[in-house]
Chain A
Amino acid sequence: MIQIQRLSKEFNNNLVLNELSLNVQTGQTCVIIGRSGCGKSVLLKHIVGLLRPDSGKVLVQGKEVASLKELELVALRAKISMVFQGGALFDSMDITKNVGFGLLEHTRMSQKEILERVEESLSLVGLGGIGNLMPSELSGGMKKRVALARAICIKPEIILYDEPTTGVDPISGDSINELIRSLHDKLQVTSLVVTHDMKSAYHIADKIAMMYKGKIILEGTPEQIRETTDPVVHQFINGLSKGPITEVVDTFK
């Protein structure tokens, strides 16, 4: 379970997270939607302990992330995977080493077992047999799928996805959605997905939360979000250029 309590974070006098609160139950897939630059990725980085909050708490499986000691944080991170927006694959390693990195560094599995697990993870994202390629030889979409393979290779309990379907073709996007869905159904993985892709959000989410001005302004099931009368959420999910979100910008024109 992930509990975010009154989380605030400021960068250069710009309040990105403003007492944001959100709960994600174990095994649930929660999708966070919101405009670019509204702080969704910053929120994910707090959950995995890459950023420390100015105030408020992030609790993962009952432990406050910011107060964990080094070894406790390592133990927690071994249960969490994150899929970065650009893939964040290690340039200096081939795909096999990238995907098997977590296992190579932190387990005593044999080389053969690691190779099998890597191939299994790559096959799950539809990229079996590319283990000997380097990241520079892959397209943007392929890099994202390899990043997903790296995330699932360690069999985590929680996966954080930072825009997993952005920049991939519609077919690959749909297979990523299916994979997130199947990880949820078969393994009860807790997922927190940041996306702009409403089709993807409706497909994978148990719960959708809309982030606006550093807060969660509305959360609910995909059906509740689809039928909401909240003008901000309505404008965002329907992709309208006119509405309360863009009003502030319009007044300056």
Chain B
Amino acid sequence: MFTLFFMDLGRKILSFMYFFGGLASLTAQTVYQTFKPPYKYGHIVEQCRKAGYDSLPIVSVVALFIGFIFALQFGYFMQRIGSEMYIASLVALAIVRELGPVVTALIVAGRVGAANPAELGSMQVTEQIDALETLATNPVKYLVVPRFVALSIMLPLLTLYANIIGILGSYLICVVKLGTTSSMYMNMTFSALFYKDLFTGLFKAWIFGMVIALVSCYEGFNVQGGAVGVGKATMRSVVFSFLMIIAADCFITALFYFIFP
């Protein structure tokens, strides 16, 4: 019983180390290939469209509702203590520092983090990635670099967009439902926010974009066992992306607000 438990534990630890080793190796190759000419601008633009432009509708809806919900939740409590004027500041800080980057990253991890391993995994099982190599084309350069660059550009932009839409959602609730004046709301929002808040939020989004691209491509490249393997890789990609986004968020927050405040 104990032997089986420790064998299982050992296998899990080895598999975890294998995952991080492989991911580190793919990261190094990707960074190297990103700066090595020739540059595939067409492929990057195509991936920007898929990861960024195509995510706009879902990001818009989610960000707007988050703005509504936060304004309503804070509004309910703040009205009781007569501090409605601070709702704008609280919502702005929460969205710009945390909710904007994290929620946008989770949405993109769900969309792109699932699509990448499904696409690359299918290419792997049908030997298309081998075919690329035999045609003297580096698969990391051709398949990973455009996704990596596109996500590291588009996630900060999507986050900025989500921040604006989220604050707009909260503004609508405060102005229409809670009776805050428009100018008061804008003043309280801008007085609460510092450049550092915006910078750390966008920095997080940049890191999350790279994490999603690398984890999803790594899982896609390591698919084994046909259709079942593609399904497993897709699930693992989304789960690991979520975990790594939350872990990275915690680390970056600690870095910017406690270690180097």
A interface residue numbers (CB < 8 A to B): 45, 48-50, 70, 74-75, 77-78, 80-82, 84-86, 88-91, 101-102, 105-106, 150, 154
Contact = CB atoms under 8 A, between A and B. Distances in A.
A246 to B, nearest CB: 27
A105 B134 contact: no
Contact of A105 (B123, B128, B135): B135
A91 B124 CA distance: 12
28 contacts: A48-B133, A49-B133, A50-B130, A50-B133, A70-B138, A74-B136, A77-B134, A77-B135, A77-B136, A81-B134, A82-B130, A82-B134, A84-B131, A85-B127, A88-B127, A88-B128, A89-B128, A90-B131, A91-B123, A91-B126, A91-B128, A101-B135, A101-B137, A102-B136, A105-B135, A105-B136, A105-B137, A106-B137
Interface string B13-44: 00000000000000000000000000000000
Contact of B131 (A78, A82, A105, A106): A82
Given A75-B136, A154-B135, 19 more contacts: A49-B133, A50-B130, A50-B134, A70-B138, A74-B136, A77-B134, A77-B135, A81-B134, A82-B130, A82-B131, A85-B127, A88-B128, A90-B123, A90-B128, A91-B126, A91-B128, A102-B136, A105-B136, A105-B137
Contacts of A77: 133-136
Interface residues of B, number: 14
Ranked nearest first, the 9 interchain pairs of A and B with the lowest CB-CB distance are A88-B131, A77-B136, A88-B127, A82-B134, A74-B136, A84-B127, A102-B135, A78-B136, A48-B134
Contacts of B130: 45, 50, 82, 84, 88
A106 B132 CA distance: 12
B204 to A, nearest CB: 32
Contacts of B234: none
Contacts of A105: 135-137
Contact of B122 (A75, A81, A91): A91
Contacts of B128: 88-91
B92 to A, nearest CB: 42
A221 to B, nearest CB: 29
Interface string B53-65: 0000000000000
Interface string B86-114: 00000000000000000000000000000
Which of B122, B132, B134, B136 has the most A CB atoms < 10 Å from its CB?
Answer: B134
A94 to B, nearest CB: 15
B126 A86 contact: yes
Which of B123, B126, B138 has the most A CB atoms < 10 Å from its CB?
Answer: B126
Nearest to A92: B119
Nearest to A77: B136
A158 to B, nearest CB: 11
Nearest to A48: B134
A27 to B, nearest CB: 21
A52 to B, nearest CB: 13
A47 B126 CA distance: 20
Contacts of A154: 135
Contacts of A70: 138
Contact of A106 (B127, B133, B136): B136
Contacts of A86: 126-127
Nearest to B128: A88
A81 B135 CA distance: 7
A80 B127 contact: no
Nearest to B135: A102
A74 B38 CA distance: 14
A44 B136 CA distance: 16
Contacts of A49: 133
A181 B141 CA distance: 36
Contacts of A150: 135
A86 B130 CA distance: 12
Contacts of B131: 82, 84, 88-90
A70 B29 CA distance: 12
A187 to B, nearest CB: 19
Contacts of A50: 130, 133-134
